[in-house]
Chain A
C-alpha cells in the first residue's frame, strides 16, 4: 500500500438556479442570521411599541392630566399646572376614608384568598394524581371564562334576603351579611381566587417532597413542618398571588356597586368624576392613588423574590 489519497471527485453538475423570489428570501434570512441584534429588534418592535405607546403613554397622560383642572363654568379642561386636585384629595375626609376603605378591602380580599387558596393548592400539588391535577387546574380557571358581571350579579342574588346564603346559614342562626362591605369582600375574594391558587400551586409543585419528609424525619410534627419549611419556601408564591388579588381589588368599582350597598371605593370616585362630575383631571388624580400604592407594594415585595414567581 503506497498511497491513501482519494481519487479526484468528478465535477458536480451545476445545480439549477433557484427561482428569483426564493433567492431574495434566502438572502434576507441569511442577512438576519448574521445580524442577531437587528433580528431581535425587529421581533421586539411591535410589542415594544404597544408597551410604550398604549401602556406607558397612557399612564404618563394620566399622570400629566392629574395636574390640570377644569373650568367650573364651561367644564373644559384647563391645561395649567396646579396641585389643587392633590390638595383636595388629601385634605377632604371623604376621600381619605374611601382610600383607607379601599386598601382595607383589598387587604382583606388578599387574606381571605390566601387562606382559602393554600389548602386547595397544597392538596392539588401534593396529594392529587397528575390527571386530577390537570382537571382541577381547568376547574379553577373555568370561572375566569365567565363574564365578570354575571358572577357579581350571581353573588347579589345569593346574598339577597331569602337567598342561598340566608338558607345555608339559617341552621346556624346566622343571617346573610346582606349588601355591604362584607359582601364586597366575599364577592371580590371569589372573583380573584384563581389568581391566588395558581401561583401557590406552582410554588408548591416546585417544593421537593423530600424537604417535607426531612422535616418530619427530624422530629417536626406536621404543623411545625408547615410553619418552618413549607410556608417560608412558598411565601414568595403567596406574595406573587397577592399582587394580583390586591391590585385587582384596589381598582375594582363594579362589585361594590352591585353588592356593596351605598359604599364607595376609589374606582367609584374615578368613575363618577369621569361621568357625572365631568372632572377628568380630578379622576386622574384619584386614579394615581392605586398606582402609587401598587408601586410601593411591589417595591416591598420585590425583596421576597415574589416577582420571580409570577
Chain B
C-alpha cells in the first residue's frame, strides 16, 4: 500500500522504510544561525526532536523561536548551520521540497477557496486523483469535526473553526513534521484551552511529530512532551515540562516559566547558607503565622513581614519581605476562610519549604 492510499491520517509507511527512519530524529538542527542584516535572530541552535514527539519552543517575542520554525519550514534559509529532516539535509531546499507542513498564526487560509478546496490544495498540487483526495480531505475534516462546513468560505467561519481548517489542511498531507506557529494565539481563553486538549489528542491519534511555537508557558507545560526555552536567539534549556518547571537551568527560565522567585547575595547566604542565586516556586512555600515553631529536618525557613495579600479566587498570593533581605512571593490555595488569609497582611510570618525546592540557577539574563 502506498502512503497515499492509507485510509487514516496516521503515517503508514512500509515497515522497512519506517525502521530506517526511526533511527534518525525527525528534526535535527546543528549550529543553526540566522542574521537579518546586523541583527542576529538565531544564534547557534542545536536541537534534536524525536519522531512522534510533541515538542514546544517557548520564549518571549523576539527570542528567535519563530525564526527557527521558519527555517525548518524553509521560509527562511539559515545564514549558517544545517536543518535535517529524518536524517536528510534540507538546509537549502525550498518549502515545497520539504516534507513538513505548517499551521500559521493567522491561519493563512485561501480566501477564494471553500473549506474543502483549502484542505484539498496540498493533494491537488501533488496530483492525487480526485476521488481519493476528496475522501482524504473529508476524513481530515472529520478529524477536526468540521465535515459539515466543507462548502463554506473561510470568511464564514469563526476563529476556532478557521484554526481547525488550517490544521486539517496541514494534516491531510501526512507530513513527517507538523509545524505550528502560535496557532492558538488569536483565540480567547476558553476556546484556547479547549483547543489545547484537542490538539494534543489529535497529535496522539495521528502520531506525527508536532513542533509547537508559543510564548504561553501554561500552554507549553500542559501540551508538550519536551520544551525548549528560547532567549535572545539561543536555547536556555531543553527538557520535559517537569524538568523545566521544577529544575530551571537559569534565572531566565525560572522567571519565564512560572513566577520568578529568586534569592541572591547576602539573603541567600543567610537563608540557604551558601552563595549564589536560588529559585523557589511560590506554591512550594508554606506560611506559618507561629514564629516559634522550629524548622524540621530537611526544611529551610525564613522569617519576614507580609507586605501585601492579593486575593485571586482559587489562590491567595502573599508578598513577604524577608528579614534577611529580599522578597519572596508565596501562593497558597484558598482553603480556609478568606478573611483569615486577608488578615495576615502586615503581620510577621515564617516561611518554610523543603530543602530540595530551593535550587541554584545560573545567572543568565
Contact = CB atoms under 8 A, between A and B. Distances in A.
A and B associate in one complex = yes
Interface of A: 208, 210-211, 213-221, 224, 228-229, 232-233
Interface residues of B, number: 24
Nearest to A224: B125
Contacts of B173: 218-219
A211 B126 CA distance: 18
B106 A210 contact: yes
Contacts of A221: 94, 96
A211 B110 contact: yes
A214 B102 CA distance: 7
Given A211-B110, A229-B110, A232-B112, A216 B104 contact: no
- Classify the secondary structure of A's interface with B: helix
Interface in B274-310: none
B101 interface: yes
Given A214-B102, A224-B125, 17 more contacts: A208-B108, A210-B104, A210-B108, A213-B73, A213-B75, A214-B110, A216-B75, A216-B94, A217-B73, A217-B100, A218-B96, A218-B121, A218-B169, A219-B125, A221-B94, A228-B121, A233-B111
B47 to A, nearest CB: 20
Nearest to B111: A233
A233 B112 contact: yes
A213 B108 contact: yes
B113 to A, nearest CB: 9
Closest 4 CB pairs of A and B: A218-B122, A210-B108, A214-B108, A216-B95
B104 A214 contact: yes
Interface SS, B side? loop
B106 A218 contact: no
A217 B102 contact: yes
Contacts of B112: 232-233
A88 B110 CA distance: 52
Contacts of A219: 96, 122, 125-126, 173
Interface string B85-121: 0000000001110001110111011111000000001
B77 to A, nearest CB: 13
Contacts of B126: 219
A220 B169 CA distance: 14
A211 B102 CA distance: 11
Given A232-B112, A233-B111, A217 B95 contact: yes
A60 to B, nearest CB: 40
Nearest to B99: A219
A218 B125 contact: yes
A210 B110 CA distance: 10
Nearest to A216: B95
29 contacts: A208-B106, A210-B104, A210-B105, A210-B106, A210-B108, A211-B110, A213-B73, A213-B75, A213-B104, A214-B104, A214-B109, A216-B75, A216-B95, A217-B73, A217-B74, A217-B100, A217-B102, A218-B96, A218-B121, A218-B125, A218-B173, A219-B126, A220-B125, A221-B94, A224-B125, A228-B125, A229-B110, A232-B112, A233-B112
